Amino acid sequence: MVMIGAAMQHRLLTAAIRHLGPGGDALVEQIAQETFGQPLPHLTHAQMAELLGVIEQRAPERLGQDVSRALATDLEQLQRDADATFSGRLIRAVHTYVGPAAEPLLRVICAGIGCELETASPRQVPALAAAIATHTAALFGTETAAALGSAVRDAAHTELVDLRPRILVLARQHIGEGGEEVLRRICRERLEVGFDDLDSTAIGMLARAVDESGLLLIGRARVAAFCAAARLAVANPVQSLQQRILERATRAFGPAGSDIVRETCAAEGMPFDAIDEEHLSWIAEVLHAGVASLLGAKGATDFAARLRSLSADREARRP
């Protein structure tokens, strides 16, 4: 049986890093060792389908645990950052209506609900909005008081709108290309709200939901993306090279040439669709032995030489 070559191994591990994260290559190599008792480069093409099947079963939980915790940690930090700047946003929002009186007014309102302006958070917006509307109605009239309550609510909402793109960037960084959909699904299934409808308390709630329920969901998303890419990497349809091999076989054997090449490869454990440049010497050797009875010793030698020359032809065509 033919072991996978360096080119295929490189494609697999590159796909692992891209879709599973920085440690994805090590995870694939670890699962290969656990499953077959030998390192990845020693596996055969026939074992690739089984390897990917095992990865689909085992990798989501291993991968999802680390990824979900890391994403939740970043979301928690984003919530802390948002809370730290909330007082400044409140002051700017209220300043539009009452000018320099904004800060002292907000300090009075915050004291009334049992907090300090510097430690007020978006989670206290309903209480703050109601308190400021009630407190200022006699001073500024009901219309301005209502506008002040809306300004407080908008201060939190505007920040959340501004943070949503950052949240989605974090999702893509940690989960991969399907990160946005995974995050939206967690919102629907765990928070029972659409991502675009999250309120001002959402970042911390989302962090907890990711940490508690995102493990397998996140792992499955990343592993599915990897396995799709890996299956393409295993097949590696280098069509121009493979087509030229079949063309030379057809010239040598007639219409049966394609079947002869494919069946010879399959008998040696190498799918023809996985043939790459690094396999040219190998395929020339096995076909030389297999077609000697059809072409004779000299004909088989000439045919093998024509296959080997494909490597030189491709090298000459490179810029």
Q: How do residues 203-213 score in pLDDT, each as one tens digit? A: 888 999 998 87
Nearest one of 147, 19, 57 to 94, comparing CA atoms = 147
Phi and psi at residue 274, to the nearest 5°: -100, 0
Mean pLDDT along residues 300-313: 80
pLDDT at position 140: 86
8-11: long-range contacts (C-beta < 8 A, 24 or more apart)? 8/233, 8/234, 8/236, 8/274, 8/276, 9/40, 9/41, 11/233, 11/236
Mean pLDDT along residues 297-302: 88
Decide if 71 contacts 222 (C-beta within 8 A): no
Phi and psi at residue 44, to the nearest 5°: -100, 165
Residues contacting residue 208 through CB under 8 Å, at least 6 positions apart: 72
The residues spanned by each domain of the chain are: 6-67+219-235, 82-213, 239-317
pLDDT higher than threshold 50 for residue 318: no
What is the DSSP secondary structure assignment for residue 188, as one 8-state letter? I
Mean pLDDT along residues 143-163: 78
Buried residues in 19-31 as b, exposed as e (16+ CB within 10 A): bbbeebbebbbeb
Decide if 261 contacts 51 (C-beta within 8 A): no
Average pLDDT, the chain: 83
Per DSSP, the residues of 85-115 read THHHHHHHHHHHHHGGGHHHHHHHHHHHTT-
Phi and psi at residue 194, to the nearest 5°: -70, 150
Residue type (1 letter), 175: I
pTM of the full structure:
0.52
Write out pLDDT tens, residues 207-238: 999 988 777 788 888 888 888 888 877 765 45
For residues 103 and 152, give the distance between their C-alpha atoms in angstroms, rounded to a whole number: 13
Write out pLDDT tens, residues 34-83: 999 999 988 887 788 899 999 999 888 888 887 888 899 999 988 887 77
Nearest one of 79, 119, 84 to 210, comparing CA atoms = 79
Mean pLDDT along residues 298-309: 87
Write out pLDDT tens, residues 84-118: 778 888 888 888 888 998 999 999 999 999 988 88
What is the DSSP secondary structure assignment for residue 4, as one 8-state letter? P
Strand ranges inside 98-167, DSSP E: none
